[in-house]
Chain A
């Protein structure tokens, strides 16, 4: 195949630019090439200054998220041939500050992720010689889908509320909070509820649903958030009617 395709890549140099500009490249198209392969071709042979993140190149590390023709994609999981005849516009992940070229600052996401306590919270730890925490396949099933998140942040790039609302925790963090809430080994639902039920925390979500559409791992963060809202309402009524306690 001696086909080529045009790539328009957003370039931004904080030292010299006030805002991003597009730079056009031409790369070959091999049948099995992904957009990431084209980016690597450019960096290796055409312009070594193009800056972007990538790692596993097989859709599991979550590093290579970018906007490809306006849609959030993992560039290692997006076939170049699908965009023929081109051009392909590659931009940094939406709704995040741009550090350079295609690299975005993800600190906000990481802060929010930590805030929801994405780990098993126990009131009392079991001593190691008491054995493992046992879990049936059904109990695993209850949260498994939400545990598949690879923190690629495509859902954040898809979510307009995240772009508009500074306090919104966002799809992935909320799905992961729900993953731990639903884990039979976890006892931290109450602690998480305090963070999550803040006005901006989850209630800004208007179920646009784009996060689920963008997710490469079929986590369905939108579903997780709505399920969480239902749980929060039940909790609200419980604290109203039983103030001291059957939480």
Chain B
């Protein structure tokens, strides 16, 4: 019973995470991961970065782009393992790893965003 009721919710998380990942991650990854390190652009100073991240709206935003994409990964990766490698018989381990990982990542994000 619980199983059946959880799947729609997990899919909803997957969808939300997918939307967030599609809309926001590309520009973040391009700038932080590629453009700034490769070109000579100076990244923001520690003080500026910290101040920007401490803003309440920024904290919420950062929580959203850390948590929801992780649940997107969890759901998608779970089914990739089920179908791609046909290891559905290991579903308890897979589910724990995937959704547990997403919960752990969310917890880490909450902790860090609380502390900065």
Report chain B residues within 8 Å CB of A160: 83
Is there contact, CB below 8 Å, between B83 and A197?
no
B3, B76, B83: the one within 8 Å of A164 (CB):
B83
Q: How many A-B residue pairs have CB under 8 A?
A: 39
Query: What residue in chain A is nearest B6 (Cβ atoms)?
Result: A199
Is there contact, CB below 8 Å, between B86 and A164?
yes
Report chain B residues within 8 Å CB of A236: 5, 8-9, 12
A164, A204, A233: the one within 8 Å of B12 (CB):
A233
Complex interface residues of chain A between 173 and 211 (CB less than 8 A to chain B): 197-199, 203-204, 206
Count of B interface residues, CB-CB < 8 Å: 15
Report chain A residues within 8 Å CB of B83: 160-161, 164-165, 206
Is there contact, CB below 8 Å, between B8 and A235?
yes
Is there contact, CB below 8 Å, between B11 and A199?
no
Report chain B residues within 8 Å CB of A198: 4
A164, B76: Cα distance in complex, Å: 16
- Interface band, chain A: 10 to 19
A235, B5: Cα distance in complex, Å: 11
Q: For the complex, is A217 an interface residue (Cβ under 8 Å from B)? A: no
Q: For the complex, is A229 an interface residue (Cβ under 8 Å from B)? A: yes
Most chain B CB neighbours (cut-off 10 Å) among A164, A197, A203, A232: A203
Query: What residue in chain B is nearest A198 (Cβ atoms)?
Result: B4
